[in-house]
Structures are given as structure tokens and as C-alpha cells.
Structure 1
Amino acid sequence: MCMPSLHEVQHRFKQGVLNEDPAFHVYIKKNKRLHPERLLQVYRNNYYISLTEALENIYPLTQKLVGKDFFAATAKAYIRCYPSISGDLHEFGGQLSRFLDDFPPTQTLPYLPEIAQMEWAGHQAYHAEESPVVDWQILAKIPEESYGKIKLQLTAACHLFAFKFPVLAIRDFCYEPHSEHLNLDSNGEYVLVTRRNMQIYFEKLTAGEYVLLLALQQGRHMQEACCMAIDTESTVDINIFLQKHFMAGTFQKIDWS
């Protein structure tokens, strides 16, 4: 019998773990106490348990919405489609929203992919690189004629979304016992997910506020970003909104050259 290549052995091991393919048993050293199939089963169980626990930690709201048993079954199906490819568990789980979009058992919960998308953003925000933030007092040093040229860079922890469903209302309804009746047919929500002082925040934005931050995140000048925001929402208070986010540490870099 020809010696298999390392790639072939690794592939068979993957199939043995994920799909319970018995072909890998021949590569396992025999043990007097446990059959090769049993040894692989022990490894397989630990593999699925550790990855399922990682998903539970990242997606607590998603789990709460579907129940622990349903989530565990969904996690197993997800792991088979998107097995971990990194030794860092913090990098595992980013495709769950996409997976839920196509997963037949969750098609009656059309809001679930957006809930997962928001939770993954919170996970990313928590582990985002720390960066110094812009001191709002620097604005006093900028010539007034240069205000329109200002470019602001959002921190790496900032994630912006225009959701089709009222994801924050769903979140509040699940976690706050005195929340009002939930209407899933209500309008979607604009959301900023960010980290401040090692705490994750999910903030609801108006349409104009969302457009303003998105334009700045895309590298547009202040004048253009403000015009886009006002065109979207004529009543948006840009000065108050920007002051709030300067104070909150939303921006990590400013340029007006």
C-alpha cells in the first residue's frame, strides 16, 4: 500500500472528525483500552463541545431566541459547514449570520441573521485593537475655513448597520422584563456597535446620523458627509451629534489638510 501524503491524512482526519468517516481509523495507533473509533469519538466530542461553547459565548441573544437545544443542533450543523481554521477561538463563528440565512430550520425567523450579525460585530468590537482617540479640544486649533475639509476616522471598534428588522427592540424585549409589546413588522433600525472602556454598546441611530458616520467612515470630507446627512434627514442636529461622539471617543484620527 502506498504511503499517503500528509495532505491526504489531514483530509481524512478532517472527514473523520466532522463527518464521522471511519476511513481514518486505520491511522490511529491501537490502544488496549479503547478502540480507534472510540478514541476518535472522544476527540470529536471535545471538538464540537469547545466550538459550540465558543458560539454560545458570542451569540447569547441568538441562543436565547431559539432555545439551548435548538442552538446546539444549529451549532453542530454550522461547525460542519464552517469548521475552525484558526487556533484562536476568537476568530471562529463569523459566518453564522450567512449560515442562518440559508439554514432551513431558521427560515421562519427572518430576523435571526441580523441578530447574529449584530452579535458578531459586538464580538469584533470587544477584541478590536485599542487606539488613541481624538481629543475634541483640537477643534479649536482648526481654522474655520478648513472645517469642510475635515476627515474623521472612526475607531476599529465601530461597526455601522442599516438593519431591516428592529434588532434593538428585539434585544430589549428579550433582556428587559418590562419591555413593551414587540412588533416585528415595525421599521428596521440603524445601529452603531462599538466599545468604550471595555464595554460593548449597541446604539440606535437616526437615518441622518447613520449616513453621517458612514460617510466619515468611508473617508469623505466633513462638508460632503454633512450634506449627505441633511439630505437624508433634514432635522438631524449635526453639531450635537458630533460633540457627543467626540466626547465618547468614536474617532481615532482627524485630518484637515
Structure 2
Amino acid sequence: MSELGRFQDAFVTALAGRTAAPITAWLPDDADQPPGLAVYRNTIAKGCVDALAANFPTVASLVGDDWFRAAAALFAAEHPPASAALAAYGEAFPDWLSRFPPADDLPYLPAMAQMDRLWTTALFAPEAEPLAAEAFALAPDVLAAARPRLHPSLAFAGFDSGLPGLWLAAREPEPGEMVLADDPQGVLIVRPHDTVRSRLLDRAGFAFLTAARDGASLGAAITAAAETDPAADLAALFAALIADGVFSGLDLGDPT
């Protein structure tokens, strides 16, 4: 490794460890704790907090700026960024919140963070052209045997209560009264073109997407949806998913 490379590694260690010891070999004899290190640390810390506020806006709106920034600073100290790009920073934040004692009175907060994270993941996912309805105009047996490829931006999750509805309401420009429903709900997030879309996902839709994600054929995925909710309108469900742009490919199988 070059001298510059060794210094850069030592400098990063000094910033993370809040001590100048790793870089003493490059410092003048009278500079045990150069004040410039604090400037760099503060700049990095502020960047991390700002990135978390941008990536978890629902959490920030629910707890308020002071609470969020204090929590984000603690998280950033424990989880420094792995790269200079902070656009998707905070992968571990939802799980961290579930163990953060001041959030014990806010049991919905980790789920809010999880959905914020899914939204950010969808935003930065690779591009792909979604399939139009015409792509599914196949003979019934061929269509049933086909295996769908889900759009790379698609994210979905299921919850035991109405947390997705609460999350969607909190993300409105002017949130009204937010009520946590008792019934299980799912959320679907996808970015088929330039805009991330989010909506509630019912049990049948969640079962269908789970089966498709696991490699099932369209016929098997539809069967999973029907078994989960026998009253579901399967034609409407499938049409809605196509309109959402959740499919990016279709691998035709052998109908026999």
C-alpha cells in the first residue's frame, strides 16, 4: 500500500475512533490532538444525520426534529457510513430503533422506519421497463405456466396491524387524523418509471407477490392468493398489479 493509502486508512480510523493516535506518525511533534479532526468529525456527523432525516422522513415527522436528530446522531456514531455516498444510508436504522430505549413507548416506530427504508430502496433500484397488459395476452395454459419476473424496484411487506395505513397517512403533505387499524395490512412500493408509488396491499396480493418472488408460476401464485383469501377478486388483483408496474419480464414455461 502507498504512503497516501496508509494515511487515508489511518485518518478514517482516527475519525471513527475519535482519537488522533492512528495518525500521530504524520503529525508534528506538538500536535497531539489537531483541532481539524473535530471539524471533520462534526461535518461527517451532520452529513449522516441529514442523510437519515432525508431517508426516514416519516419517522422524523412522527417524533419531531429534536428527538430524531438526537437519535440519528447516536445511530451514526455506532454505524458510520461504509461509503462516501449517503443517498441510501441507514440500512440498519429500523432494527436499531427496535433496540433504542427512548423508542420503547413508540412501538410502531421500527415499522415506520422499515417502510421508509423500502421506499428509499425502491427509489435507487435499477431501471427496468414494466410489462404492459398486452404481454399477458397468452393462451390460458401458457399464461398459467409462465413465471413472472418482478420489477427490480418492487418492495412489499406485511404487518399484523394497520401500520402501512398509518405510514401512508403520515407521508401525506398535510396528514389528517391518523388511526392505527387492528386488521393486518400490507404495503406495496414500486418505481416503474420516474416516481415511487406506494399503496396498501391486501392479503391475497401479498400471497401472490410472495409466491412470485419465490419463483412460482403465475398459476401457482394465483392459487396461493385464492387460498389465502377465497373471496378475493383475482382478476382485479392481477390487473391492479399490472397497472402498478410490478412485472418486468415473463419467462414462458411448458404448459404440459
TM-score using structure 2 length: 0.86
Unaligned runs of 5+ in 2: none
Select 1:157's aligned residue among 145, 150, 153. 153
2:164 equivalent among 163, 168, 174: 168
SS in 2 for 1:37: coil
Q: Deviations over 1:87-126 (max 9, x none)?
A: 2222421110111111111121111111111111111111
Distance 1:155 1:161, change over 3 A: same
In the alignment, structure 1 residue 64 sits paired with structure 2 residue 57: no
Give CA deviations for 1:41-81 in whole Å, capped at 9, x if unaligned.
Answer: 11011000111111111111111111111111111111122
Per-residue CA deviations over 1:147-199 (Å, capped at 9, x if unaligned) read: 3212111101101101234233323156465734523x623421111114321
Matched, 1:45 2:10: no
The aligned amino acid for 2:84 is G
TM-score, normalized by length of structure 1? Answer: 0.86
Alignment partners' CA distance in 2, 1:178 and 1:135: 33
Amino acid at match of 1:158: L
Q: 1:218-257 residue pairs with structure 2 within 5 A?
A: 218-257=214-253
Rounded Cα–Cα distance in structure 2 between residues aligned with 1:216 and 1:65 = 34
Aligned residue in 1 for 2:143: 147
CA contact (8 A) 1:29 1:36 kept: no
Task: Measure, in 2, the Cα distance between the counterparts of 1:7 and 1:29.
Answer: 14
User: Residue 200 of structure 2 aligns to a residue in which SS?
Assistant: strand
- 1:3 alignment counterpart: none
**Equivalent residue, structure 2, for 1:115:** 112
User: Would you say the 8 A contact 1:84–1:92 is kept in 2?
Assistant: yes
The DSSP-based 3-state class of the residue aligned with 2:35 is: helix
How far has the Cα of 1:39 moved from its partner?
Answer: 0.8
CA distance in 2: counterparts of 1:117 and 1:77, whole angstroms: 18
Residue number in structure 2 paired with 1:23: 21
C-alpha separation in 2, matches of 1:55 and 1:165: 26
Please state how far the C-alpha of 1:203 moved relative to its aligned partner: 1.0
Call closer, same or farther: CA 1:31–1:240 in 2, change over 3 Å. farther
Deviations 1:119-154 (A, max 9, x none): 1111111111111222321322x2222232121111
1:93 aligns with 2:93: no
Once residues 67 and 13 of structure 2 are traced to their aligned partners in structure 1, the CA distance between those partners, rounded to angstroms, is: 24
Conserved in 1, the CA contact under 8 Å of 2:95 and 2:110? yes
1:246 aligned partner, one-letter code: I
> 8 Å contact 1:173–1:182 — kept in the other structure?
no
Determine the C-alpha separation between the residues in 1 that align with 2:29 and 2:58.
43
Contact 2:58 2:170 in 1 (8 A): no
Larger mean CA deviation between 22-31 and 115-124 belongs to: 22-31
Does the C-alpha gap of structure 1 residues 99 and 27 become closer, same or farther in structure 2, counting only changes over 3 Å? farther
